[in-house]
Structure formats: structure tokens, C-alpha cells
Homo-oligomer: A and B are copies of this chain.
């Protein structure tokens, strides 16, 4: 039982690989003790060492360490065998005894599997927050604080992350987080061009420039195709290509019936696809309800806003104009929250078999909500308010009636000389692409940090009140705080830190990816309105990358490494947004471009339906053609790591084939010489002819077999051929004479 060498640099984590957080607050003490005993026994059975320490708030912290090298090696070997059988690895893994985790994330992933996988797959079957283990509230690895700080200071000094930096993120937090940072990095790098181009066109061409729009669309196509290549490249570099095939059933999956497979003879739970499809039909009413509910809120607030800011001239206007903003900020998050919870219920009801399928389906549903809340306001302004304002605004009379008491008679007719605010669209785009991004950053990063601080201070305060003393208030100062838990003095500092980490939130990479995709949407859909959009995003994303890393290391538990070979459904979302962008951009440019003579120049009355539709038709199809061309062109170039993997596969095949071909040619050689000798003897002589005749009578008189016996060996055939050719030549010679 030798203890395995811990990965370098994690000494200050006391060699602990994982911490299991167990809450006995809601459990009967004796039950809790039994459960813990079972937990510890199970961990020990799969070969993990455990130590128990008290945690905060009726929590126990079970420190887990893969000390038995053999068990870990076996788990690694099994995981690799599984990968190989599913085609994720191209070569058969080496012997079990030489299996070592290649990266920290592989080690952590394997240990996580050892803890959470069911017994028949070789794990301890501990499922946090689920089933028997509902009191296990978290299973998480510990942050590598030194390295984290090092990275953060390092990155704050440079503009681009190098490939090695991404590798380090992947080593620490796993591939799925690695892919997010790689995407963010690629996106940031790609933004440099539209930012520079956008800035120049803002100076030289103004808004709604045709050139800027074309360049922007083209940039979107190239970026998405580039990212697809990049994804493939990274998945080869990180050896996770095709990893989504190796899927484990969701624990929440409820089979409709048990079916015995005729071939394998196994009984397995089956959920019919047709039933799931029927359930998925509920997505249609869901999408409609979401659109109507959110659309109604947004449109109403929008109408009120227009009414107040542009029609209403009564008293309190400066205060009233906050009403729509307040309404929006109150109603939209509430409604979104309700809809997201409905979406989650729907998704649970659809009963997916694997986590990947579940996540993809949920992402798609939530995207509908995001799409409406993010882009509908601008859509309303651009395609409803501006073209149809003169038709719609008079109907805001409905409100007029309610507001009438405050409005003087003369002012009641203002809507007749109402004029459209042409700057509203730009203001709105600026709001969504600058203000909202800053607000988002604050609510996402700063607010939780402040909240955490306060929560901690409040806790300390409460503890102090209950008579305990704890100097842990000085969070980041490295003097050893005295423990309130009778901790051994060596461990006080470590345990204090672990207790804090246990208190943090889980990190969710999907939310961060969503944010980036929605951001990309503004760029694809509306950036012709204000060409500085990419500049704003460029600045934002430089900060975003660092702040997201900060969020992971300071505000969240360290995520368990999850393998991935893609950013998942978001890739399709990007493609979809870019496509819709080709439509909206064309429409915007046609309607608001002021440089062309024929166009409406932003005059709503001058918009011609057929011209608008023709512009959209051409733009969209041009987009599709260009996308096809870019896609086929880029698919011809193989990324570096893909090529390397292909070559490796080729080498494996070649070695294998050579071993069979090599055996062949040596065999062949022998045979040839042997035959050649027999050949020499069998030159046509009277004797052989007689032999032939005898052989024929001996044989059955099968004419088919006789056909093959007329010429003995290739030399005789060649002689026959020669004689045929010669006779023909002779004949021709005769004719010519």
C-alpha cells in the first residue's frame, strides 16, 4: 500500500484529491452516522483513503485521496480501455501497471469516476444530492491556490493567452472549461479585425455602411468556420476527439419498460423514441407561450416608454419615464425565471438518457428565452417602431385615456405632430452592447464577490455572538488563524481554507458560454447600426476572460474535470445567429443607409416592400453561398494536431499491415522457387502431354476443369499467346503481299 506521489505543487492541499461535503443538518444523527459509515466503507472498497474533519454549518468534510496506487492505475487503465474501444484513443493502452495519469485533470476525473460511478462500472456509486446520497451535497477537488494566483498575475500582463496557457487551464479544470477559455480567446483574437475595421468605418463611413455590413457578415462566417477547425484541433491536442460517444446514463433517466435485448440477452430499460417525440411536441406551445409572454411585456413597456417620452408632455414626465425601465427590470427576470423553470420541467419530462442529450435540449429551450429577451427590443425598434410608428402611435390613445386627467386639453393632440426619433435605434444598441455588458460584468463577478464577503462576515459575526472566537476574518492574510473546531495546529490554516471553498457556489460553464453567444448575436444582428460594437466587445472580452478566471478561482468551487470535444450546442447557435444576421443586416442597411439615392434613407414612408425583400433575398442567399464556399475551402486544410493524429493512426495501420504483408512475401518467395522448379520440368514434351491425357481420364471428364488444364503454367500460356499473335501477324503479312 504505497501512497502514490501527489501531483507536483499541490502540497498545500495536503495531498487531498477530493473533498466530499456531507450535511447532517436534515438527517437523524444515527442515520447520518450509518450513512457516513457506508460512505467511508464504499470509498475504501474502491481503493480511496479518507479522513473526516468537521465542516461549517452541520457539514462534515470527508477528505479523499487515491493512496492505493494499484486501484488508481486500474481505474485509469479501464477508462483508457473504454476510450480505445469507443475510438477516442487510436492505440490500445499500455499495460495496467504502467498507467499513470498524464495530467492533473485526468487524475481528478478518474478519481471522480471512482467516487461517483455505479458499482458495476467500477465506482463507489456515491451520487451527490441524489437518491440514497441526498445528504452528500458536494464532491469537489481543492483549488491549487498558488498556481491560480500565478496564472492570474501572468495573464493580466499579456494580451493573448498562449496554447500552453490553455493547456494549463485544461490541466487544472478539465476540457469543458478549457474549451470555453479557448473559445473566448479565439473570439477575442478574431474581434481585433472587426474592431479596427469598425472603428475606421465609424470614422469614415458612418452607420449602416454596406461595406461594413458585408465585411461583418463575412467575418462571422470565417470566425465560425475557424472555430470549428480550432475545436477539432484542440480535441486532437487534448485527445478527447469523439469523447461524447463515451456516455454514461443519466441517473434521473426513467425507463418506460424493461426489454430483453435479443442479441445481447441483457435486460435494459427502454424509453421509446416516439413517446419522447410526443413529449417534445410540448416545446411548440412552450416556445409560443414564451414568445407571447415575454413579447407582451417587452412590447407593453416599449409602448409605455414611447408614449411617455415622445407623446406625453404632462407633468412628472421626468419621473414617469423611469416607469418602463422599472417595469422591465422587474418583470423580465421574473418571467424568465418562471419560463426557465418550466423549461427545466419540460426537459426532465422528456427523459433523456444521457447528460449530453439533456444539456443540449435544455440549452436549446433556454436559448429561445434568451433570444427574445436579448434581441426583441431592438427588433421592435428597427422593424416595428421606425417603419410603422406613424400608424401605431395614434393607437397608444388607449393609454391616453387613462392618462388624460393629468394632460391638459391642448397637449392631448400632440401625437399628431409626433415625429420618429431616429436616434432611438442607435441608443438602444449602445445600451445593449456597452451598458448592459458592464452591468452584466458587475452582477456576474463583482456582486457575488461582495455578497460572499458579507455573508462570511455575517457568519463570523454570528459565531462570535454565539461565544466562539475565530480570527479567520483576515481572509487573505497568511497568519495562522486559531481554530474553532479543535483542529490540529498543523491543519488549521488548511481546514479554514477548505471550509471556505466548501461554502462557494458551483461553477457553470454553460452560463458563461451563453453570455458569449448572446454577445456574438448583437455583433451579427445589429452591429451595422453602430460600428463601434466590436470595439466595445473587444475591451469587454479582455476583461471577461480574466474576470471569468477570477470567478472560478475565487468565487466558485473548483469544478470537477469534464471531458469535451466541442462547445456543444452553442456552435449551432452561433451559426444560426450569423444566418439571421445576414437577414437583419440587409434589412437595416436597406432601410437606413443614407448614402444611396434609391433607398428610403431612413424615411419610413419611402420603404418599398419589394426592394426590402429583394435585398433580404439576395443577402441571405449570398450568405449561404459564401458560407458553403468558406466551409469547403477551410475543410481542405487539416489543422496541425488533426494531421498529427491522422499520421499516428496511419503508422499504427502501416505497422500492422507490414507485419501481415511481411509474412506474406517471405512465404511467397518460397512458393515461387518451389513452383519454378516444377515449371522447368513441365516444358511441353511428349511425356507431359501423355501425362495430361492420363490426368484427364483419371479426372472426371468435366469440360470446365479441362479448360484450365490445356496450358500448364504461365510459360505455356505465353507460348500460346505468342503463337496466336504470330499467326495473326503472318496472316496480315500474307494479305498485304
Could you tell me which A residues sit within 8 Å of B by CB distance? Answer: 3, 11, 14-16, 24, 29, 32-33, 36-37, 40-41, 43-45, 49-52, 54, 58, 60, 62-63, 65, 67, 74, 77-78, 81-82, 85-87, 96, 122, 261, 263-264, 273, 276-277, 488, 490-491, 494, 608-610, 612-614, 616-617, 633, 636-637, 644, 647-648, 650-654, 656-657, 660-661, 664, 668, 672, 675, 703-708, 710-711, 713-715, 717-718, 720-722, 724-726, 728-729
Contact = CB atoms under 8 A, between A and B. Distances in A.
A720 B652 contact: no
A637 B85 contact: no
9 contacts: A3-B708, A33-B725, A40-B714, A40-B715, A44-B675, A63-B707, A74-B664, A78-B664, A277-B633
Given A77-B660, A725-B32, A725-B60, A264 B647 contact: yes
Contact of A67 (B703, B708, B717, B724): B708
A33 B718 contact: yes
A488 B37 CA distance: 92
> Copies of this chain, how many?
2
A656 B52 contact: no
Contacts of A714: 37, 40-41, 43-44, 50
A122 B77 CA distance: 37
Contact of A36 (B3, B711, B718): B718
A277 B710 contact: no
B636 A276 contact: yes
Q: What secondary structure prevails in chain A residues at the interface with B? A: helix
Given A37-B718, A660-B81, A710 B610 contact: no
Given A40-B718, A608-B610, A724-B54, A710 B488 contact: yes
A273 to B, nearest CB: 5
Nearest to A262: B647
B721 A60 contact: yes
Contacts of A50: 711, 714, 717
Contacts of A617: 613, 616-617
Contacts of A706: 490
A531 to B, nearest CB: 27
A85 B653 contact: yes
A286 to B, nearest CB: 15
A114 to B, nearest CB: 12
A82 to B, nearest CB: 7
Contacts of A722: 33, 36-37
Contacts of A81: 656-657, 660
Contact of A29 (B36, B715, B726): B726
A614 to B, nearest CB: 6
Nearest to A49: B708
Nearest to A15: B704
A37 B723 CA distance: 12
A16 B703 CA distance: 13
A60 to B, nearest CB: 6
B74 A647 contact: no
Contacts of A24: 725, 728
A269 B79 CA distance: 39
A460 B687 CA distance: 40
A264 B654 contact: yes
B65 A717 contact: no
Q: Which 9 A-B pairs have the closest CB atoms?
A: A609-B610, A613-B613, A490-B703, A40-B714, A610-B610, A37-B718, A44-B714, A33-B722, A85-B653
Given A37-B721, A40-B721, A616-B617, 19 more contacts: A3-B708, A11-B704, A29-B725, A33-B718, A36-B718, A40-B717, A44-B714, A45-B668, A49-B708, A51-B707, A52-B711, A52-B724, A63-B707, A74-B664, A81-B656, A276-B636, A610-B612, A610-B613, A613-B617
Most-contacted residue by chain B among A263, A653, A704, A715 (CB, 10 A): A704
Contacts of A263: 644, 647-648, 651
Contacts of A705: 3, 15
Contact of A721 (B33, B44, B647, B717): B33
